[in-house]
């Protein structure tokens, strides 16, 4: 039971790290796309 519990905790923490890495990667990608598109997004929002 203890081994199972530790595995679950490890899995959850690992998942959180993966999600954080993915979100950071996606944010960087979005910034790059925005730079390439120029002010296209700004024109859409205003």
Tens digit of each residue's pLDDT (9 = 90 or more) over 1-46: 788 889 889 988 999 999 999 999 999 888 887 777 766 656 555 5
User: What pLDDT sits at residue 43?
Assistant: 58
CB 37 within 8 A of CB 44: no
Length of the chain: 46
User: What pLDDT sits at residue 42?
Assistant: 60
Is the residue at 4 inside a domain? no
Is the residue at 36 inside a domain? yes
Is the residue at 13 inside a domain? no
Is the residue at 7 inside a domain? no
Is the residue at 23 inside a domain? yes
User: What pLDDT sits at residue 2?
Assistant: 81
* 3, two tokens: 């081994």
User: What pLDDT sits at residue 41?
Assistant: 57
- Total domain count for the chain? 1
Is the residue at 24 inside a domain? yes
What is the extent of the structural domain holding 28?
Answer: 18-46
Nearest to 37 by CA among 46, 29, 26, 24: 29
């Amino acid at each position: 039971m203890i081994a199972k519990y530790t595995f679950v905790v490890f899995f959850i923490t690992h998942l959180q790290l993966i999600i954080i890495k993915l979100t950071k990667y996606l944010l960087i990608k979005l910034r790059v796309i925005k730079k390439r598109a120029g002010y296209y997004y700004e024109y859409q929002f205003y």
